[in-house]
C-alpha cells in the first residue's frame, strides 16, 4: 500500500441510486398475470450511498462522489444522505436526467436479484470527481459496471491519482451484467494494478479468476494488485477470506444471523472495513468488525438499517 501521508477522511466514488426492495419474489409472473407481494420499500441505495450511510452511523463523516438526477428521487437521495451526516458536496445533480433506480427482488432461501435502470449513472465520468476528493486517506470505488464512462482507464486513472496522493485505494467491482467476457477481464487488469484492497464477493471472485475456491481466488487476485495489496472475498453468511502480501492470509467467520434483508450487505462490509482501518486497526481486526457490521445490517429493517458502534 502507498506509504505517503494523505489527508484524513474517507471518499466513496460510485453509484448513488434509489433502491426499491420487493418481497417475497421467488419468480416473476408469466406474461399477462399479476401476483401480489408482501412488502415494497423505498430507500437510498447504490454502492457509494449504502457504504456512506453505514459509515455515518458509525460516527464517520464520509464524502460521496457520484450523480443523481434533478427529479424527486434525486431530491430524496440528497435529503436522506445529508440528514444522515454524509457530505454530499461532490454529488452532482444532472440537469434533465433521471436518477438511477435498482429494484431488488428478495425471497427466503434464495440470493437477491436486481433489475436496474441506470439513468444518469450512464453519464458520470472521471472529470466529475473533484481533485480534493482523491486526497482522502481512504478512497473506495464501487458500482463499476453501472458507471460505463468510468470503466477501464477512467477508474484506473482515479485510483492512480489517489494512490499518488497517498491514499489507500479500495475497489468493489460488483457483478458484470454482460457475463464477464474476456474483454472485461482484460480491462480490469489496469484497475487492479491501482488497487490496494479488492473487495469482490464469492461469485465475482470466481468470475474474475476462474477459480471456485475463495482462498485460491483471493490469492490469484492479490497477485494482480498494487504492491502490498489485499484481496478480500466476501462469503455472505460464511464471513470472508483474505490474501495479503508475502503470503499473508486472514479470515473471519460470521455468526448465525436471522436475515431480514440482504441487499447492501457487501456495502456494509466495506463500511466496517474502512471504518476500522481508519482507526489504525490491523487487517484481521478490520475483517472481524466488517463481518460483524454486515451481519448486523442484514438482520435490521429499512427503518433502522445501520447501527452505531455502541450497538455492535
Each domain of the chain, given as residue ranges in start order, spans 10-23+39-303
Write down the pLDDT at residue 1: 59
Write down the pLDDT at residue 244: 98
d(CA 156, CA 19): 27
Tell me if the pTM is above 0.75: yes
Write down the pLDDT at residue 6: 46
d(CA 92, CA 69): 8
pLDDT exceeding 70 applies to what percent of the chain? 97
Q: What CATH superfamily is the domain 10-23+39-303?
A: Ribokinase (3.40.1190.20)
pLDDT at 4 > cutoff 60: no
Write down the pLDDT at residue 111: 76
Nearest to 304 by CA among 18, 53, 36: 53
Write down the pLDDT at residue 106: 84
Q: What is the mean pLDDT of the chain?
A: 93
Q: Name the percent of the chain in helix, strand, coil, to the closest 5.
A: 40, 25, 35
Structure confidence at residue 260 as a pLDDT band (50, 70, 90):
confident
Strand 197-198 to strand 110-117: parallel, antiparallel, or no bridges (unpaired)?
unpaired
pLDDT at 304 > cutoff 90: no
Write down the pLDDT at residue 258: 80
pLDDT at 179 > cutoff 60: yes
DSSP 28: P
- Which of these ranges, 81-95, 138-152, 244-258, has the smallest mean pLDDT? 244-258
pLDDT digits (tens, 9 = 90+) for 63-118: 999 999 999 999 999 999 999 999 999 999 999 999 999 998 988 877 778 899 99
CA distances from 42 to 21, 76, 102, 207, 303 (A): 7, 10, 10, 31, 10
Write down the pLDDT at residue 8: 61
pLDDT at 174 > cutoff 50: yes
Query: Mean of the pLDDT values across residues 276-281?
Result: 95
Higher pLDDT, 258 or 227: 227
Query: Mean of the pLDDT values across residues 144-168?
Result: 96
Query: What is the number of other CB atoms lying within 10 angstroms of the CB of residue 162?
Result: 29
Structure confidence at residue 5 as a pLDDT band (50, 70, 90):
very low
Amino acid at each position: 500500500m502507498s506509504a505517503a501521508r494523505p489527508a484524513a477522511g474517507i471518499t466513496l466514488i460510485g453509484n448513488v441510486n434509489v433502491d426499491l426492495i420487493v418481497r417475497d419474489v421467488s419468480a416473476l409472473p408469466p406474461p399477462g398475470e399479476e401476483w401480489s407481494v408482501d412488502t415494497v420499500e423505498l430507500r437510498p441505495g447504490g454502492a457509494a450511498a449504502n457504504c456512506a450511510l453505514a459509515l455515518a452511523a458509525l460516527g464517520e463523516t464520509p464524502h460521496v462522489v457520484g450523480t443523481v438526477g434533478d427529479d424527486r428521487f434525486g431530491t430524496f437521495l440528497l435529503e436522506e444522505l445529508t440528514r444522515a451526516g454524509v457530505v454530499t458536496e461532490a454529488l452532482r445533480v444532472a440537469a434533465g436526467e433521471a436518477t438511477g433506480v435498482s429494484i431488488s427482488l428478495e425471497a427466503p432461501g434464495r440470493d437477491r436479484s436486481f433489475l436496474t435502470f441506470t439513468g444518469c449513472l450512464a453519464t458520470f465520468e472521471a472529470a466529475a470527481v473533484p481533485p480534493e476528493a482523491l486526497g482522502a486517506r481512504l478512497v473506495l470505488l464501487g458500482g463499476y459496471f453501472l458507471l460505463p464512462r468510468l470503466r477501464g482507464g477512467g477508474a484506473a486513472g482515479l485510483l492512480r491519482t489517489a494512490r499518488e496522493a497517498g491514499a489507500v485505494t479500495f475497489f468493489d467491482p460488483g457483478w458484470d451484467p454482460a457475463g464477464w467476457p474476456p474483454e472485461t477481464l482484460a480491462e480490469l487488469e489496469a484497475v487492479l494494478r491501482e488497487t490496494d484492497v479488492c473487495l469482490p464477493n464469492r461469485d465475482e471472485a470466481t468470475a474474475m479468476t476462474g477459480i471456485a475456491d475463495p482462498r485460491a481466488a483471493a490469492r490469484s487476485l492479490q497477485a494482480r494488485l498494487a504492491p502490498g495489496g489485499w484481496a478480500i472475498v466476501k462469503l455472505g453468511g460464511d464471513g470472508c477470506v483474505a490474501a495479503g502480501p508475502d503470503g499473508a492470509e486472514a479470515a473471519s467467520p460470521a455468526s448465525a444471523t436471522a436475515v431480514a434483508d440482504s441487499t447492501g450487505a457487501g456495502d456494509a462490509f466495506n463500511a466496517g472495513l474502512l471504518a476500522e482501518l481508519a482507526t489504525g486497526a490491523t487487517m484481521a481486526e478490520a475483517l472481524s468488525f466488517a463481518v460483524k457490521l454486515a451481519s448486523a445490517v442484514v438482520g435490521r429493517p429499512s427503518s433502522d438499517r445501520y447501527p452505531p458502534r455502541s450497538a455492535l
